[in-house]
Amino acid sequence: MSATRRQILARSGALGAGIAFSGALSELFAGTAAAQGIGHTGYGPLVPDPDGLLDLPKGFRYKVLSREGDRLRSGEGTVPSNHDGMTALPGRHGRVHLVRNHENRPTAQFAVPTVAGLTYDPAGKGGCTALTLDGHNNVLSERVAIAGTAVNCAGGHTPWGTWLTCEETEDTAGTNGYTKDHGFIFEVDPADPHRTGAVPLTAMGRFQHEAVAIDPRSGTVYETEDAFLKPFGLFYRFLPHRPQGGTGSLRAGGRLQAMRVPGVADLSAVQETGTTFHGIEWADVPDPLAAQTPIRLQDFGPKGITHAQKLEGCYWGGRCVYFVSSFAHSAEGSAADHFGQIWRYDPAARRLTLVIVFGPDTDVQLPGESPDNICLAPSGGLMVCEDGNGAQHVFGVTRRGEVYAMARGRQNIGTPQAPEWGEFAGVTFSPDGDTMYVNCYTPGTTFAVTGPWRR
């Protein structure tokens, strides 16, 4: 979470609460091990880490894979700051490719080093780095995967084994010293970054991108827009001209559309889990490049378009796409207040359902509101990165709605008198499900966590 978002949450007073869940949690886990009844309990209390980095339950251990400010093993420069979204992709001979975003603005301490053939805009400090690991989580290589981008927040993996990294900005050339327009998606091949280079996928739109998820059957790409100040963002789908996919296929272009829920201008107005809307419509985006007007402000005709505050996480599960609205505050222009929602869209039925609502609870040991990065855990349930002030956790959520602490950050970036801890981001699992990888945003640290996940 950026400093700006943190300040807004603090001003709104929406920090430090616990969480309660309403809705059908089992719906989130279709097609996963959780649907088979695995993983109904937590792993016990967190054990204080004598090294002061990461508290975990008994039986679990971590390895630090990379820290900002260290030297990249490739010799290309320094490990960049602000570790954010991440994915783990299978490599050859049992290896794992970690692709890691760096949500760097012009003020970032450690920029992603510029590399010939991999740099979009030399003035951009963001991008991705790629780590290759062996079967024991030993780092075999660490290098720049793309550079010269800006505010790389989240993204999503493709069925063909690449990463789509998203710029969460709409800055144009001439703003903040940039030489090119920003606000695009870029494809990154961790095994061979030069294969994908630094080519913006312009047809997929220029806006404050957050995350993407791909329907593996149709090739449709779903995209969230993280606009936390009014006018709020939209939920998009991209219909590629080459739906069969493959590395570089998205460069062929396609059709960008925004979701319209008939009769609903703002998703925050919907408060009851299980509420379902049929006949969801998709409207063509008039100007995907937003040459004159941000997409969310463009004219979508007399029916208008449906907005939502803070659209963040997005993932594919079973036959549906799920997306997260981290919060909505009426004081900032939303139709109503909430502390987090998860929506499910069924493309075949053209049906949208509110499946989970987050809300404050009296137990401050439970996760703070505003769910951010989330992933499906192979042992069952969800892993949720906490996004707020105070102690920072990765929390697990079982199919029964039980919440348990999986990890707690111990790196104090404040003072002894006023401690502060960096948020978690980019939680993901190895292809074999035996390792959880997660980032601490500040100071940028990437951890590999192993233990009895399938207990």
How much is the pLDDT for 197? 98
CA–CA distances in Å: residue 4 to residues 17, 33, 72, 197: 20, 37, 29, 31
Q: What mean pLDDT, rounded, does the chain reach?
A: 88
Better-scored residue on pLDDT, 245 or 1:
245
Q: Where are the alpha helices (DSSP H) in 361-444?
A: none
- Residue among 133, 103, 110, 129 nearest 118 (CA): 129
Q: Is it the case that residue 114 has pLDDT exceeding 60?
A: yes
How much is the pLDDT for 341? 87
Q: How many Å apart are CA 156 and CA 395, to the nearest integer?
A: 21
- What does pTM read for this prediction? 0.91
Q: Is it the case that residue 24 has pLDDT exceeding 90?
A: no
* Burial class (CB within 10 angstroms; exposed 0-12, middle 13-18, buried 19+) of 294: middle
Lowest-pLDDT range, 6-15, 25-34, 78-87, 362-371? 6-15
Contact of 383 with 395, CB cutoff 8 Å: yes
- One-letter identity of residue 67: R
388-411 residue pLDDT tens? 667 888 988 777 767 788 999 999
Dig out the tokens for 134 from the structure. 């062996």
186-223 residue pLDDT tens? 999 999 999 999 999 999 999 999 999 999 999 999 99
What sign results for the dihedral spanned by CA atoms 134, 136, 137, 142?
Answer: negative
Average pLDDT over residues 320-333: 92
Contact of 187 with 144, CB cutoff 8 Å: no
- Residue among 451, 336, 341, 447 nearest 392 (CA): 447
Lowest-pLDDT range, 62-66, 103-107, 304-308, 398-402? 398-402
How much is the pLDDT for 365? 42
Average pLDDT over residues 284-309: 97
* Burial class (CB within 10 angstroms; exposed 0-12, middle 13-18, buried 19+) of 284: exposed
Q: What is the DSSP letter of 444?
A: T
271-296 residue pLDDT tens? 998 999 999 999 999 999 999 999 99
Lowest-pLDDT range, 35-39, 313-317, 353-357? 35-39
Q: Does domain 3-450 correspond to CATH entry 2.120.10.30?
A: yes
Residue with tokens 């004159």: 292
Contact of 393 with 383, CB cutoff 8 Å: no
How much is the pLDDT for 11? 32
How much is the pLDDT for 356? 80
Average pLDDT over residues 262-275: 95
Q: How many Å apart are CA 77 and CA 108, to the nearest integer?
A: 15
- One-letter identity of residue 394: V
- One-letter identity of residue 148: G
Sequence-separated (6 or more) residues with CB below 8 Å from residue 212: 155, 156, 164, 166, 185, 221, 222, 223, 224, 314
Per-range mean pLDDT, top range of 6-10, 126-130, 352-356: 126-130
55 pairs with which residues across the strands?
A: 408
Q: How confident is the model at residue 23 (pLDDT cuts 50, 70, 90)?
A: low
